[in-house]
Each structure stands twice: as C-alpha cells, then as structure tokens.
Structure 1
Amino acid sequence: MRKRAVSVLALLAAMQAPLRVQAAEAVDAVDATGSTDAAQEKALDDIVITGAHTSSFRAEVVQVGAFRNQSLLDTPLTIAIVPRALLDAQGAQGLEDALRNTPGVTQQSTSPLTSNNFVSRGVLMNARTNYRLNGSLPIINLGPIPIENKQRVELLKGVSALYYGISTPSGIVNVVTKRAGSDPVTSFTMNGDGNGSFGSGFDIGREFGDHNEYGARVNGYASRIGTPVNDVDGRRWLMSGAFDWRATERLTFKLDTEYYRREMDEPGGVTLPSAVGAKNGVGGTITLPAVPDPTKRYAPLNSPYNTWATNVVGRADYAITDDWSARAEFGVASTRRQRTIANLGSVNLTTGAGTISGTYTPDQEYRNQNLRLEVSGKVETGPINHELLVGFSRNRQTQEDQHQQSYTAVKQNLYDPVDIPYDSLRFTTTKLNAGSVNIDTGGYIMDMAHLGENWLLIAGARYVDYDTASAAKNFAVTTVTPTAGLVYKLTPKSSLYTTYIEGLESAGTAPDGTTNAGSILDPVVSKQFEVGGRMEVAGAMVSLAYFHINRGLAYTDSSNTYVVNGRAVHQGVEASVQGDILPDVSVMLGGQYLDAVQENTGIAAQDGKRVENTPRWSGSVFAEYHPDFLGGVALNAGIYYTGDRAAEAQNRAYLPAYTTLSLGASYKTNVQQNALTLRVNADNVTNERYWATGGSTLYAGMPATVRFSATLDL
C-alpha cells in the first residue's frame, strides 16, 4: 500500500477510516496555492479545496462509502469521479451535467427538466437508496439535486451492498459538500442562459477559533429557470451549511444541512405506442414517432411539478488510539413532491392527433432516517497487516399515503400542440396509494489484509434484516451477502484487481402510470464479478474493467404492470482516462460496451432480448485547453455519444443513437486584486434531435442552449 506524503494519524482502515487524513498528492485535495499546511492536514476524512478553482480534472482519492479516502489504485471497483474543476469548466448546474461524463448512464420515463431518473449499466437507480450525501446519508432524488454547494460528484458503479445494504446494482451516486479549509473563501456568482434563466449565489467559508478548531461553509443560490419549451419555466432555491468542530486532537464533530426547493412546470411526454398485431400483449411491431420539436409543450399550461427537500446529517469521530477509531452518524432526508403527469398517447402518426391523460398527486411525502455506528483499526498477525472495519447501520424509509387524482383525457396534437388551461381539466377519480415503511438493518465486517507491499486481500460480509410493511402486503427477509476482492500492485503507479460481491436489492417501486403504481416489489439477490486495472500515466489515471452482473429482472409488462420476472445479465467493458495528458490539457474520457440480456422470463418473445433503455455503446470525451500564453483564457469541448436502445422489453422498437457536441470558454482576470472568472458554455450546438429518456414515457432532448456565468472571488 502506497504511503501518503502527508499524514497526521496513521492510515486507519483503508476501506473506511473515520479519522484518515488527506492525501497530499491528490490534486483535487490541494488548495489553489498548492499548499497543504497543518490546518488543512487536520481536515479529517474530507477532501477540501480552498480559494480559487484549480484547472486539473485529476482525481486520485475516493470519498464514497467504504472507500472513503481510499486511493483509486487500491479500490477494486469502477468509480467515476467528477471534481469541482470539471463541473466549473462545463458550467454544470445539476447531476445530469455531471453524470454525462461517465459512460453507460441514461435517463428513463421522466422529463430531465423536472427530475432525473438515472440508469447506469442498464440498471435503474432507486431514487430512495442509490443517492448519498457525503458517503452515507441516503437522500431522496425525486427532484434535481443541486450541485452549487458540492465539491465533487462520484458514481460507484455496480453492486455496493456491503456498506449501503439494500440498493440496486446500478451504482451509488455520492455528492460531497464543500467544507471550510485553511484559506478563507468568499465567492459570488451570477449566471444565466439563452432561455431566460437568471440566478445568483454565494459561497462563504471560514475556519475560526483560537486554534482554527471551528469551520463553517455556507452556500446559497436562487434563480429563475427558463427553458426552451414553450411556456415551461420555474424557480429554484438552495441554502446549505457544512460545519466542523475539532473539539480535541482526537474528537471531531461535523454537521451538514441543506434545503432546496424547485417549482417547475411539467412539459408533457409521449407514451410509448402500443404494438400493432400483438396477441395477448406479445409480438407485433411498434412504430415510434419521429423525435418531435423539443420546444413543444404537450402538458396543460402551468401543470405543477414542485419539490421540497431537507437533508441533515451529523457525525462524531473519535480516535480511541493512534490505530483505532470510532464513528457515530445520524441523518434525516425528507422530500415532498407535487407532481402532474401529462402523457400524450394514442397518437395518429400521420396527423399527430392524440390525447393527453394523466394524474395529479399533491401530497407525495418521503422520509429516510439513517443511523450508522462504526469501529475501525489495525491489527498485525505475523507478516500480515489487517485493516478492520466493523459497523452497524439502520435505514428507515417512510412513504406517506398519497391521494392521486386522475383527469379526463383531453385532445392534443404531437405536431401542433394547443394550449390547454390547467383549470379546464376535469378531475374524475381519486386513488389512494397506500403508504409504506421499509426498514433496512445491517451489520457488516470487512478485513483488508496487506500481504507484503504488493498484495491486498479484501474479505467482508453484511448481515441483512429487511422489512417492508404496507397496506397491500408485508415482507421480511434476512440473509448474508459476501464481498471478496484482491488487488495486486504491479508498480507504485499501477494495479490489477478482481472482486466478487453479492447484494440484496429492492426491485423498486412501480412507477406512476402503471396498473400497480406505488407498489413496492419484493427484494431480489444481485451478484457481480469485476476484474480490472489502473495506471497513472503522466498526469492522468487510466482505468479498464470488465464487469458481469446477474440480477432479478424488473420491468413493465404487456399489461402495463410493473413486475419482477426472470433474470437480467449485464456484462461489458468500461475504460476511462482522467487528468492532465499534457501540462496545459485536461481531459475526462470514458467509453463502455454493454451487453444486457433478459433470461428465464417464460416469454419466448422476450428471452434473449436486450434489457430496455440499455445502449450497447456509449462514451464521452471532454477536454480543456488552458495554456499560460492565452493569458487566463481556457477553451473546452465535449462530445457525448449514446447508442441505440431497446424501447421496451420485447425489443419491438429502438430509440436511435445520438451524439451531442458542447463548446465552451472561460477567462480569468483580476479586478482590484480580486479574481474574476467569466464563462460561456454551449450544449448541443448542432441542435441534434434525440430521445433523452427511454421507458414507458419518452421525452425529447433539449435543443442548443448557451449558458454564461461570472464568479468573483474576494
């Protein structure tokens, strides 16, 4: 195991060290001056960037889950890291902008303007289990997660059961908040776009106290949201705080709070057409409409899609000895949503005539309560050095009763939509979607055994006790899910690895629009095998991995019921290059080949077919050129490719492949000794028309959009 250049405490539990200090060599862990002074070295367990933004896209240290502060070279799984420098260069404003930099990520069934329903490696990310704040708290992704207060975004791909318990094997999205560091931060931003958006925000961070034992980082942002879709706009707000207290040299406390609100209009989607010539829902053909003009709105005017989210998590870390430490963490994530569904179906592809139908649910409320207790430390048994992690976690999910109102279908046209006043809708029936309570309790143990300087053996297991209770059914299961891995360090800058992981995943909640909407399906077992390698080349990290996932198959069947039936096998190869390939050129490049196939469904027309919404080929490349001779000017460009995707389980239609192009530039200068950064970014500059989402409801991707911003660092 490579030793870090700067440390305050000995390396504790490489897979999960509550009091491990930062890697001085990690580019995105160093402040703008490149220094790592004593105050910053004591920033326990969190990557901190202070002062102005760096230009490097390089990332060497992981902050997600059991891998917190682990070197990428010692991490035996595929992890995509999108650092703040890359987010800034792209003018990113949400998770959609961040995750487009990692291959194999698509969206499903909801408009990206209102929410992000991500799919990774062909597996849907559960909105209530697969998104984490600062590596632990499960936040609820039913409205776009803001990133103005985030330092980086990580995607741990595949099964992650040991640390996170019940979650789908798509991956874990971890958002890491900005924290106070040794250099004060005072930053003000104004931004907007060509669609009429306009917003402003602030970022203030300070350490204070006689010995800088306190730290506070406060962020705020508010904006009007303009979109290219006719009469679809909104507003959003964010307020957050990250607070630190180093009570003693051994005891630290952290508190993170954030509140964000978004008021938005639903633009309306297109229901996947029915198959012509099908018998009992099997066979036949589906003809998709051409991708419509993305500026058209199909939903009634001012159809509300509003979300409110509050996330709070507190943590205490105590260094029992130089080699043993303990952590206690408790958090609550609460989200409320008002949602209109407005789907255009029964479309005559010649004339465009169809009908809008859907529902309005004014009272969707969700809550996660998460507790985690851990002890980690080091033990030597002869020539073997063990880094041990023992933990307990309990996540209680509640969903309140929901009264969903349906409205009478109204006429609409795909090619020439008309304005439909929302007040003119006639709500006819109210359906009660009964609430539920899910409790995921687990105990876990992991041993990372260092066999000499080159071998790292990983073994662990999680005991799972999972209960679901609702008006419709109760379900309980207990099981043990193992984890095993092996890392071989070829050189100090290269490694090979292999892992095997089992996990219990929720098959999900039946989506709105299905006959069993809101129903929670029984959990199923997922298994993953992965083998790969990493190497540092010049100033970049190069990664290559093969993965194989076998899981229960969940989909919407021919009777529009969300079911678990059969198995899905997802296997493929993923490669990436991230960092500085030249002193003045930073890149993030990734590609994925994915073969996702359905098996044992009992339906001949479905077995052997591709899993819906899974592109075989996908990839992206983003590069920024920032030479000194341009005097503070940086130029960038990005290309994003998504291959064709099966539109539904029987593969009776395919969504065409598409490629989008982005261009951007920035200029950094000084105004009265204060740093000023001006940026402009243009997305989809070729005005490509494409389906942005797969699944039962299709939404068109956005046309060419220009964004701009100005940031003043005082």
Structure 2
Amino acid sequence: MKTRAAVSLLALLTALHYSQQAQAADAVSAPADAVTDATGADFGGTDAGQEKALDDIIVSGTQAPSFKAEVVQVGAFRNQSLLDTPLTVSILPRALLDAQGAQGLDDALRNTPGITQQSTSPLTSNNFVSRGVLMNARTNYRLNGSLPIINLGPIPIENKQRVELLKGVSALYYGISTPSGIVNVVTKRAGPDPVTSFTMNGDGNGSFGSGFDIGREFGDHNEYGARINGYASRIGTPVNDVDGRRWLMSGAFDWRATERLTFKLDTEYYRREMDEPGGVTLPSAVGAKNGNGGTIILPAVPDPTQRLAPLNAPYNTWATNVVGRADYTITDDWSARAEFGVASTRRQRTIANLGSVNLATGAGTITGTYTPDQEYRNQNLRLEVSGKFDTGPINHELLLGFSRNRQTQEDQHQQSYVGVKQNLYDPLTIPYDSLKFTTTKLNAGSVNIDTGGYVMDMAHLGESWLLIAGARYVDYDTASTARNYAVQTVTPTAGLVYKLTPKSSLYATYIEGLESAGTAPDGTTNAGSILDPVVSKQVEAGGRMEVGGAMMSLAWFHIERGLAYTDIHNTYVVNGTAVHQGVEASVQGEVLPDVSLLVSGQYLNALQENTGNVYQDGRRVENTPRWSGSVFAEYHPDFLGGVALNAGVYYTGDRAAEAQNRAYLPAYTTLSLGASYKTVVRGSGLTLRVNADNVTNERYWATGGTTLYAGMPATVRFSATLDL
C-alpha cells in the first residue's frame, strides 16, 4: 500500500510537471528557499571583516538552495569560518532538511556519523549518544547558540533554519556539559525579502498537518523584523493504536534601535501528546556469577507495528523557550552583548517495559511507572565583550564573558503499577485503566547552578597562522534533599590553525571540560539522577578544504573521560575511564552543478579502562558503533525543469548492548528515496515533495541501553508548500 502511494504521488508530480512546463517556461522563477549564511560568503559576497559582525541566518529568496555551509553559529566560534574552526562541526542547512522531508532532530542528525539513541522510544523523545557519550538533555541542546533548552520531548524544526552539532568537549563556552557535543538549533529570521509560505504535509501512517511561515522587515528604515511560524499536526505511526498530536508556535523579532544598538527576542512554544509504544528490557545474562560473565541472548527484533505498552499510555510534553538579547557596538572594533533566557519543560510520562521474556513463546511481563508531574526549568544569563586589537604584527580577537545557568527540577510523584502479562510476538491489548497502581515514590527535586567566567584570544599571526588560547573558571553547585556539593576549577582550551591556502587549513586542539557524567537512564535504580562532575580531556587534529562548491573535512580525535555505565546492580555509576578514539570524515555541498551531496563516516574505538572488573576492562563502551556513516545525494538538473530526485543510505555498525559486551545489537542499513517538483502557479512558487524512509523495511533496534525499541518500518511522507 505504501509503495503504491509513493508511485501514485510520483506520477502526480510528473503529470503536474508537464502540465505546467509551458507556463513555467516564460514565467519568472519561483521564490527560492535559499539559505543566506551569516557571512554571506558564496551567498552574496561579504568580506572577512563583515563575517564577524553578522550573526543571523536568514532566507534570502534570491539564490539557489545549497547543502554547503561555511560558517559556524555555535559556541565561542560563533560566526567563525569553518576553515578557522579547530573542531568537528556538522552543519545541516535548511536545503538539506527540506530535501529529506525532515521533521525532527532524529531526521536531521542521521546525517552525522556516530549518532545513536538510548533507552527511550524515538516516537516520544530523542535521547542521543554522540561519539559513544550520552548527550545530557538539560545542557547539551542550545537555541541560537546560547540558551540551554530541555530535550525531554522531540524538538521541532519547522521554525529552524539549520541544525548544528559541535562534537566533543565544549566547556569553554558552555560550562558543564558532556563531551558528546552540543546540538544547536538556529531559528529562521526576517530578511530583506518578504516570506509568506504555507505548507501541508502527511504520511502513509495517517499523519496530516499544516503550517505557515511569515517573515517581514518593516519600519521607515526596515529597522524592525518579525518571523512567525506555526504548525499543527495529527501524528500517525506504524504502531497499532499509537498516535498523537503536536503544535508549534514561534516568533523571532528584531529591532535595530540605532546604528549601534540592536535587540532580538525569540520565543517558541511546542506541545506534543503521544502514546507510549513500549520497549523491551535488556535480558539478564545466562550463566552469570554475582552479576559478572555469562551470555545475554537478545530476542529477535519484534514486529515494529505491534504495541507492547498498555493502550493509551500517555507520554505528553510541553515546552516554552524565551530568550532576549541586546548587542551594542562600542567602537568599530569592540562590542558588548547581554542575553537572558528561560527554558521550561513539563512532561507526563508512562514507562512500559516488557521484561522476563521467554524467547520461545514470547511471554513476559510489562512493568513500569507513571510520572504525571515532571517539571524542569533553565534560567540562563550571558554577558560578553568582544573586540580586536594589535600587538605588533599579531592581530587579536578577544572574547571575555560571564554566564550563569540555573537548572531547577521540581519534586516528582512517581507511581508504580503491578506487572501485567504481555507477549512479545503476539501482544495483548491492555487497557490503561486496568492497571493497578501500588506505590507512589517521591523523586526529590534539585537545583544546579553553573557559574563561569571565560576568556578566549584568537591571535592571527600573518595570513597563515591562527593561535587560539582560552580558559573558563567553573563554579558549580548542586543542592538536593539527597546531597549537596560544589566544584570550582579552571578548564583550558588551546588550538592552532594553519592556512595552507585561502581555501584549505590544518588544525590541532586540546580542550578540558567538566561534565556531570550524564543522567541515569530510565530503567536503572537511580533513574533521573545527575552524577557528580568529572573532568574530560580531548585532543583533536584535522583539516578542511573547499573544492568547488563543496567542503571536505577530516579529523582524528581522542577523548578521555570518567566512565559512566549501568553496573551489575542496575545502578548508573561513574567508575574507571572511557577512552574514545576515532576518525571522522565528510564531504558536503555541490560536487557538480546539478548534484548536491553529503557524505560522512566515522570509525570509533571506544574502550573501558581501569574499572577494576576484568569483565569490563578492554571492552567496548555500550551502544557505540565502531563504523557508521551516511550518503545523501540530490540530483536537480535543469533539463528536468524543476524536478529533483534524491536518495540516502544510513549505516550503523554493531553495538555492545551493555558494559560487559555480553550481547551485541546487530548492524543495520536503511535506504531512503525522494523526489520534489518546483513550479510556478499564478505567480506563486509551488513545491511538492515525497520521501520514503527505510524503503527495504529493515528490522533493527533503534535504541541501545537498558531498554530496546524497534526501528520504524517503511514510511512514505509527502508535502506541498506554497510560497506567495
């Protein structure tokens, strides 16, 4: 049925193409959804001096969309050319997201190697792991490069211009965060060209939604700007009787009060109501002695269309993010910035895990909890001064800053329910109202305050050398009913960039960071607990080169950190050292005039050391593939007259299921195909798209960790966008 739907829609695209071809031949081209990068490089041509002055990514409506990205918008390297950035950064621009029909962070980040998910269903939330390190849901996700937003429900991207992933240690700018990386989502903003766009979309599972995108500059001198986005959708899934709804409303506002003073305000509200599909608890080891050794026998990946959780088990999230910013140009070379934001998230969550499964019959027991009142808040303040000065022949770019992030987690009342019988192979329908709740546990709230001062100097030694040196003073306090502790330390950063040519560079960096070692995952005895801070250290060396319309990158990295894992008592602990070492490469951009390409791959050897347990030392870090990568290409030749074809292949290698490597989740590959058609109808641009994911219907485990969830089967998505 899904294949027929895809074929029918492709036929519709072709028919519409030929019916409009004669009209389009003499018409002006449709408004493009081009990305204007912060520098304008290759998108309008600004010079290097202007690059550092600009800070926004807007839709220009005048250039062809591109997969290529040249400027970083995340961290202390904000507005820095990629060629001058001594770290691995994956940038996923709007043109790429549109071509793939992406609807969430999981769709976007599948284009970056080494990304897996852990312990929660991708239908309800995204618990990402990068380079074998879990991303903290409260510190590792940022809005417009600064505000830490709370990733306890899927972050929408309809109002985002691009998604970035700064991989590795990021302590200088962001303070306490795991060395997995920082995901930065950049909002759409008003630009010189008006934007009025309406979209309708859906999929073969019964999803359907609609949204709008309106952007304008106004005022006597276009000193005001507003970009408003809205979206609402019914969510259908391949899983029987698992569906939901979601809403998004956002605004990005700009005011150029004077030539020197500007203000920005970003606000977004999104809500998602979903059913929990249910996961499979990692089986116990057969033949283990005192929790060590033995073998874990995994069940075959179940039919992903079968619901294991009780019917209508709720998983609901509400999120509000607001951040305001003021920028003041003190002189031509010096500027100041003040920023304050609040991110708040509320979640109602049901956990439904199927355990004690008889692999012959599929019989097991569903156990779990319901937590109706999870509430989290981040309050973030940042003050910065930046400027340029010379010391003899050396040109300096100096950044001085102060930040304070206050994280609050309210008390939570968690209700357990009596286990009910369920079958992995032939699931029963279990009414949610039939569950018998027994005990209510109070999970005490906590307050974490991360205060820091930082300085970074980027010293240009002639045209070829860039020396980077920086440090952050960290003052971190945690207070809860269980315990209080405080940490003060200094974390250094050092880097060197050598420009081989104006379009190629080599780099090396050393960075130290402080991290909480993550949050104990669901299903563990201390689920939700934030572990003590530990020091992480990273060395990275690599190079970049622009070739035509594409950017090529190659990097080697070595990370040492406190080892966090689930021990034999099912408690998430920090013990020993994890060493993550690997190589990552990518090619991104227009490799030919009519071919856009993103190729990326990673080899990662992540091992455990010094745990004191012979069953762990030398074993792979759990849920970490040694090999991973993806290829996505779009073919858009002129002779097809607005038709573009695309295909993507995404590979994840095998992963250790747990710390002792007593079982491995098999490697898997998924294939995606898509097509789009752009034309002009009565002077307005019309874009039709169809995308099919996992077209081979591959069965695989989408998550690792203590709870396993099956990946989704073949799905066909389609959309129509009208640009007025």
Task: Name the TM-score, length of structure 2 as normaliser.
Answer: 0.94
Deviation track 1:78-97 (CA, whole Å, cap 9, x = no partner) reads: 00000000000000000000
Verify: 1:25 aligned to 2:35, yes or no.
Answer: no
Whether 2:285 is the aligned partner of 1:275: answer: yes
- C-alpha distance in structure 1 between counterparts of 2:190 and 2:57, whole Å: 10
Letter in structure 2 aligned against 1:262: R
Matched with 1:325 is 335
Give how far 1:41 is off: 9.5
Question: Equivalent residues in 2 for 1:372-451 (5 A)?
Answer: 372-451=382-461
Structure 1 residue aligned with 2:694: 684
Q: Which residue of 1 aligns with 2:466?
A: 456
How far, CA to CA, are the matches of 2:347 and 2:582 in structure 1?
36
Do structure 1's residue 503 and structure 2's residue 519 form an aligned pair? no
Which residue in 2 is equivalent to 1:73? 83
CA distance in 2, matches of 1:474, 1:23: 45
Aligned residue for 1:139? 149
Shift of 1:52: 7.3
Match of 1:346 in 2: 356
Counting only pairs closer than 5 Å after superposition, residues 637-676 of structure 1 correspond to structure 2 as 637-676=647-686
Contact 1:53 1:85 in 2 (8 A): no
Equivalences for residues 601-620 of structure 1 within 5 A: 601-620=611-630
Q: Structure 2 unaligned segments of length 5 or more: list them.
A: 1-36
Q: Which residue of 2 aligns with 1:284?
A: 294
- Write the distance in 2 (CA, Å) between the matches of 1:42 and 1:463: 25
Q: Which residue of 1 aligns with 2:98?
A: 88
Q: Deviations over 1:172-230 (max 9, x none)?
A: 00000000000000000000000000000000000000000000000000000000000
- The match for 2:176 is 166
SS in 1 for 2:173: helix
> Does the residue aligned with 1:163 lie in a helix, a strand or coil?
helix
Q: How does 1:238-637 map to 2 (within 5 A)?
A: 238-637=248-647
Counterpart of 1:194?
204
Contact 2:384 2:402 in 1 (8 A): yes
SS, match of residue 433 in structure 2: helix
Work out the CA distance in 2 between the residues paired with 1:42 and 1:454.
18
Q: Is the 8 A contact 2:51 2:80 kept in 1?
A: no
Residue matched to 1:121: 131
Amino acid at match of 1:290: A
Deviation at 1:557, TM superposition (A): 0.8
Instruction: Say whether the 8 Å CA contact 2:52–2:79 is kept in structure 1.
Output: no
Distance in structure 1 (CA, Å) of the matches to 2:108 and 2:188 = 16
Instruction: Tell me the residue number matched to 1:105.
Output: 115
How many angstroms does 1:24 deviate by? 2.2
Aligned-residue offset at 1:43: 8.8
Corresponding residue SS for 1:677? strand
CA–CA distance in 1 between the matches of 2:529 and 2:183? 24
Q: Give the whole-Å Cα distance in 2 for the aligned partners of 1:498 and 1:376.
A: 24
Residues 615-652 of structure 1, C-alpha deviations (whole Å, 9 max, x = no match) = 00000000000000000000000000000000000000
> Could you report, residue by residue, the CA deviation over 1:592-620 in whole angstroms, capped at 9, with x for unpaired residues?
00000000111110000000000000000
SS in 2 for 1:536: strand
CA contact under 8 A between 1:585 and 1:623: conserved in structure 2? yes
C-alpha displacement at 1:556, in angstroms? 1.0
- Structure 2 residue matching 1:639: 3-state secondary structure: strand
Whether the aligned pair in 1 keeps the contact of 2:523 and 2:707 (CA below 8 Å) is no
CA distance in 2, matches of 1:345, 1:512: 14
Distance 2:148 2:99 in 1: 28
Change (3 A) 1:171 1:41: closer
Contact 1:372–1:394 under 8 Å retained in 2: yes
Give distance in 2, aligned partners of 1:686 and 1:516: 39
- Deviation of residue 50 (structure 1)? 2.9
TM-score, length of structure 1 as denominator length: 0.95
* Contact persistence 2:524–2:706 (CA under 8 A): no
Aligned length: 686
Shift of 1:101: 0.3
Report the alpha carbon displacement of residue 521 of structure 1 after superposing the two structures with TM: 1.2
Paired AA for residue 508 in structure 1: G
User: What does residue 233 of structure 2 align with?
Assistant: 223
**More displaced, 43-52 or 493-502?**
43-52
CA distance in 2, matches of 1:41, 1:120: 30
Structure 2 counterpart of 1:442, which letter?
G
Q: Give the secondary-structure state (helix, strand or coil) at the position aligned to 1:73.
A: helix
CA contact (8 A) 1:52 1:713 kept: no
Q: Aligned AA for 1:422? A: Y
Determine the C-alpha separation between the residues in 2 that align with 1:55 and 1:212.
Answer: 25
Amino acid at match of 2:579: V
Cα offsets for 1:287-330 (capped at 9, x unmatched) = 00011100010000000000000000000000000000000000
- SS of corresponding position for 1:443: strand
Q: What is the rounded CA distance, in whole Å, between the counterparts of 2:140 and 2:513 in structure 1? A: 13
Task: Work out the CA distance in 1 between the residues paired with 2:532 and 2:369.
Answer: 26
Aligned mates of 1:499, 1:393 — CA distance in 2 = 23
Deviation at 1:511, TM superposition (A): 2.3
Cα root mean square deviation, aligned: 1.3
Q: Answer yes or no: is the 8 Å Cα contact 1:73–1:534 preserved in 2.
A: yes
Distance between the aligned counterparts of 1:551 and 1:74, measured in 2? 27
Task: Check whether the contact 1:214–1:246 (CA below 8 A) recurs between aligned residues.
Answer: yes
| 1:25 Cα deviation from its structure 2 partner | 1.4
* Aligned twin of 1:11: none
Deviation of 1:68 after TM superposition, in Å, equals 1.0
- Structure 1 unaligned segments of length 5 or more: list them: 1-20
Identity of aligned residues (%): 89
- The residue type equivalent to 1:336 in the other structure is R
- Is the contact between residue 161 and residue 462 of structure 1 (CA under 8 Å) also seen in structure 2? yes
Q: Which amino acid aligns with 2:349?
A: R
Tell me, what secondary structure is at the counterpart of 1:620? strand
Residue 12 (structure 1) aligns with? none
Q: CA deviation at 1:48?
A: 1.4
Aligned-pair distance for 1:134?
A: 0.1
Task: For residue 430 of structure 1, report the CA deviation from its aligned partner.
Answer: 0.6
Letter in 2 for 1:416: D
Classify the secondary structure of the residue corresponding to 1:217: strand
Question: How much does 1:693 deviate?
Answer: 0.2
Q: 1:349 to 1:579 in 2, by over 3 A?
A: same
Aligned-residue offset at 1:662: 0.2
**Match in the other structure for 2:68:** 58
- Per-residue CA deviations over 1:551-579 (Å, capped at 9, x if unaligned) read 01111111111111111000000000000
Kept in 1, the 8 Å contact 2:119–2:522? The answer is no
Q: Which amino acid aligns with 1:673?
A: G
The amino acid that maps onto 1:446 is M
- For the structure 1 residues 578 and 154, does the alpha-carbon distance in structure 2 shift closer, same or farther, using more than 3 Å as the test? same
Secondary structure of the residue aligned to 2:560 is strand
Distance in 1 between residues matched to 2:520 and 2:658, nearest whole Å: 16
Cα separation, 2, equivalents of 1:347 and 1:467: 43
Cα displacement (A) at 1:49: 1.6
| Code of the aligned partner of 1:45 | D
Offset at residue 518 of structure 1 (A): 2.6
Shift of 1:23: 1.8
Q: Is the 8 A contact 2:51 2:79 kept in 1?
A: no
Q: C-alpha displacement at 1:519, in angstroms?
A: 2.2
1:348 and 1:43 map into 2 onto residues whose CA distance is 63
Asked whether 1:184 is paired with 2:194, we answer: yes
